[in-house]
Amino acid sequence: MHVLFVHQNFPAQFGQIANHLVQKHGWQCTFASQHGGEVPGVGRVLYEPKSGARAETNFCSRTFENQVWHSTALFDALRSRPDVKPDLIVGHSGMVSTLYLRELYDAPIINYFEFFYRTHDSDIDFRTDLPACDTPTLLRAQTRNAMLLLDLENCDAGYSPTQFQQSQLPQEFRTKVRTIFDGIDADFWKPMDQRVRRIGEIEIPKDHHVLTYVSRGMESMRGFDIFMRVADRVCQKRSDVTVLVVGEDRIAYGGDARFTNGKTFKQWFLSKNEIDISRIHFVGRVRPTELVNVFSVSDVHVYLTVPFTLSWSLFNAMSCGALAIGSDTAPVRELIDHGRNGFLVDFFDIDGWVDRVLAVLDDPVAFDPIRRAARQTILDSYTLPICLDKMLELYREVGVGIDDRLEVRERP
């Protein structure tokens, strides 16, 4: 079986499954992308768009315009590589589409559907405490789904990483899309026996409790401002708390830039709020090994998100046995069972967050059963072997079921 993976970036969500198919099952894998490095045994095809949306392009159609440029560049790059003859195509329905590959290959297509945009009861209108989304952005959300809808109609099957993300798709397509998570390497993301109380340049006092927050960027969609208010209050009430904030000072998702006047969301928030950051340490982006240590030394890990994609960081934290307190929003409720493997607090309830954090810090050891249950949740349902087996089952079913002439050869 020869699988062609398609994603703007490499290896993104497909690196682990591609490596698994090559190393464990003897399949041939080729990865087509615009950016990225190398994975042993995986072939590469690079594409480069010749143009993209311009200033005069209607704001609402710019995403689609860019997707078309990426997708035609992908088509041209693969057309120039007659040696690439896939039996199955697996693509991320995002910046680059598998749509045009129907004209190049007689092969079934599986698409990975990460997020379908909604304008109501969604990430766009959840933060009612912040300036409302402007009209062009609201309208653009509708057309941002254009290529995704074409992919939904065109693909033979699809999958989404969580039930929440699958549930956001149009009802008429949901039976076509399974829920299969990307998979957590629980042998790597596990509690450290020898924990280091030093993160970067930050030395954590031996008598201090540790409160942690991890996010790709510091932004409203991931509740950075809510966390900062909570951390400030916790530090006011207890002098034995060190706060670690992992992530970059940037806006990765959402439209915070529309009201921050050229500042990052962190800068904008701190300029408007008196927060004592003497014990709140911004450690930046850290290596995975350091992040395992962060989760392992954490007494309380706080995770917030609006109704949007669920971060890998929460899965990793729970796999490391962290005591996770998450926002009571649909994506988080899928992973955290309140009182069993973590706790849920209303996104906007600052008092509720503070009370819950302080309750754990009063006696962290008493919550060890919750920590063990958090890791067990990952072991039971979200490890790499479990998720990769589900993907493999889907790949075989679609690839072999559509063309029974294919022969799957596995190494003994």
| Structural domain contains residue 102 | yes
Give the count of domains, the chain. Answer: 2
Residue 338: is its pLDDT beyond 80?
Answer: yes
Residues 123, 158 within the same domain:
yes
Residues 170, 216 within the same domain:
no
196 φ/ψ sector (left φ>0, alpha ψ -120 to 50, else beta): beta
Rounded to the nearest integer, the mean pLDDT of the chain is: 94
Residue 315: is its pLDDT beyond 70?
Answer: yes
Q: What is the dihedral of CA 125, 129, 131, 134, to 10 degrees?
A: 10
| Structural domain contains residue 66 | yes
Mean pLDDT of all residues in 4-24 = 94
| Structural domain contains residue 92 | yes
In DSSP notation, 309-336 reads PPPHHHHHHHHTT--EEEESSHHHHTT-
Residues 391, 286 within the same domain:
no
Write out pLDDT tens, residues 213-245: 999 999 999 999 999 999 999 999 999 999 999
Write out pLDDT tens, residues 30-76: 999 999 878 889 999 999 999 999 999 999 999 999 999 999 999 99
Residues 248, 286 within the same domain:
yes
Predicted pLDDT at 403: 42
Helix (H) or strand (E) holding 371: helix 368-381
Q: How many CA atoms lie within 13 A of 104 on its CB side?
A: 24
Residue 211 pLDDT grade (very low, low, confident, very high; cuts 50, 70, 90):
very high
Residues 283, 352 within the same domain:
yes
Predicted pLDDT at 401: 53
Residues 374, 237 within the same domain:
yes
Q: State the residue range of the domain holding 202.
A: 198-381
256 φ/ψ sector (left φ>0, alpha ψ -120 to 50, else beta): alpha
Residues 232, 166 within the same domain:
no
Tell me the β-bridge partners of 213: 245, 302
Residues 368, 390 within the same domain:
no
Residues 247, 352 within the same domain:
yes
| pTM, entire model | 0.93
Mean pLDDT of all residues in 22-28 = 94
| Structural domain contains residue 364 | yes
| Structural domain contains residue 190 | no
Distance CA 267, CA 240 (A): 26
Residue 314 pLDDT grade (very low, low, confident, very high; cuts 50, 70, 90):
very high
Distance CA 145, CA 114 (A): 11
Residue 177: is its pLDDT beyond 50?
Answer: yes
Write out pLDDT tens, residues 85-112: 999 999 999 999 999 999 999 999 999 9
Write out pLDDT tens, residues 342-362: 999 999 999 999 999 999 999
Predicted pLDDT at 133: 87
Q: Which residues contact 48 (CB under 8 A, 6 or more apart)?
A: 34, 73, 77
In DSSP notation, 219-237 reads -GGGTHHHHHHHHHHHHHH
| Structural domain contains residue 287 | yes
The pairing of strands 324-327 and 300-303 is parallel
Residues 72, 112 within the same domain:
yes
| Structural domain contains residue 391 | yes
Distance CA 266, CA 128 (A): 19
Predicted pLDDT at 178: 97
Q: Catalogue the E-assigned strands of 157-295.
A: 157-160, 177-179, 198-199, 202-203, 209-217, 241-248, 280-284
Residues 297, 350 within the same domain:
yes
Of 97, 101, 78, 70, which is closest to residue 88 (Cα–Cα)? 101
| Structural domain contains residue 101 | yes
Q: CATH code at 269?
A: 3.40.50.2000
Residues 389, 284 within the same domain:
no
Mean pLDDT of all residues in 382-395 = 96
Predicted pLDDT at 201: 87
Residue 407 pLDDT grade (very low, low, confident, very high; cuts 50, 70, 90):
very low
Residue 404 pLDDT grade (very low, low, confident, very high; cuts 50, 70, 90):
very low
